[in-house]
Amino acid sequence: MPIIEVDHVNKVFKTSVRREGRFGTFISLFSPVTRQVTAVEDISFTIEKGESVAYLGPNGAGKSTTIKMLTGILEPSGGNILVGGGKPHRNRIHNSYQIGVVFGQRSQLLFDLPVRDSYEMLRYMYGIPHAHYRKNLSEFAAVLEVEQLLDRPVRTLSLGQRMRCEILAALLHEPDILFLDEPTIGLDVIAKERIRSFIEQINREKQVTILLTTHDLDDIERLCSRLMIIDKGNLIYDGSLGYIREHFATERRIRMVMPDPAAATVTAARFEGNADFRVSVQEQMIEITYDHRQIDTSELLRTLLSTCNPRDLAMQDENIEALIRRIYQDGINAVHQQPPRTAGGIR
Ligand SMILES: Nc1ncnc2c1ncn2[C@@H]1O[C@H](COP(=O)(O)OP(=O)(O)O)[C@@H](O)[C@H]1O
Ligand SMILES: [Mg+2]
């Protein structure tokens, strides 16, 4: 049985709008005008125990709303959610024992108190046995390198330090599932890397199920074998990053180092007038960009290697970050592949 089941879930927010004019507030009191915002339109997915899933989408797509429903903070307007077999909003206390939550933009630590005091409070709230608490705290604090921070007031920590302490807080009670909503937002490269390697470790060693929203593709590449992309409250992709790269990344780039600048110019000339390629030359380096749906890559490589004698040759995929942005903008169908065509007769 999946540990998370989301079945045709929908969430509509009703907000009251204040009327214009001098007596607007007063009139609104008696005849309120409500506006509806559909944050999640119709989303279904299941997640198995031990999976590590990235939940992506542009701002306002409905990611945080989904996580709030999964954690029981919000109730769905329609559809069904089961987390560990129970409905999160119906039994928030039971649900809170099986999940840990980290919101990058919000803290569950007490700002003015030492970090350790918040942990003590969580120990008490969850009724964590002392032995477990001590073991978890010392183990996680060592891996996250926060031992030196435990007696410092939270407000004196840097964002990266605080984030590591937040993640520790979310795991003290040994939850089966960890929800992370933009945990690496605003962090520097080193802080991000520390957090990634910790999340990777608890997923691998303790089989903690991970659902992560992020804008950082390195997070996904490192942590998530599966990614779901939502847009305007609907799931538009559910699969691997590799599949996206293979099937939706349309551009390929070949970079060749030629023996000398003259050879590079000669090679570039062979592409002249061919609209299937974009070619640029810089001294003895030549760069050829094409759409791999139009051009058969292996045939092109054979031709280049046998007729141009490059000294070195490297291939690059389209920047995956740009690609995902394009999927956000144009939708998955617009960037979907057609079968490759020809070798694109270069001279
Ligand atoms: N409490 C709320 N009341 C009204 N609208 C909301 C509320 N929370 C979120 N929304 C709206 O729902 C949509 C989805 O928001 P959210 O789930 O936060 O998106 P994301 O996390 O993907 O950026 C947005 O249009 C947002 O303005
Ligand atoms: Mg959000």
Kindly tell me if the per-residue pLDDT of 25 is higher than 90. Answer: no
Contact in structure between 123 and 131 (CB atoms under 8 Å) = no
Size (the chain), residues: 347
297 Cα–ligand 1 center, Å: 43
Atom 7 (ligand 1) nearest CA: 13
Q: What is the mean pLDDT of residues 90-94?
A: 91
Predicted confidence (pLDDT) per residue in 37-56, tens digit: 999 999 999 999 999 999 99
Closest atom of ligand 1 to 65 CA is: 17
Band (pLDDT 50/70/90 cuts) for residue 31 is confident
Q: What is the mean pLDDT of residues 218-231?
A: 91
64 Cα–ligand 1 center, Å: 7
Closest atom of ligand 1 to 63 CA is: 22
All domains of the chain in start order, with CATH: 4-239 (3.40.50.300), 248-335 (3.30.70.250)
Q: What is the mean pLDDT of residues 166-186?
A: 95
Band (pLDDT 50/70/90 cuts) for residue 241 is confident
User: Near ion ligand 2, which residues have CB within 5 Å?
Assistant: 63-64
What pLDDT is stored for residue 51 in this prediction? 97
What pLDDT is stored for residue 335 in this prediction? 64
Predicted confidence (pLDDT) per residue in 257-300, tens digit: 999 999 999 999 999 889 999 999 999 999 999 988 889 999 99
Kindly tell me if the per-residue pLDDT of 336 is higher than 70. Answer: no
Look at 249 and 193; give whichever has higher pLDDT: 193
222 Cα–ligand 1 center, Å: 28
Packing angle, helices 115-126 and 130-144, rounded to 10: 140
* Ligand 1 near 59 CB (within 6 A): yes
pTM of structure: 0.82
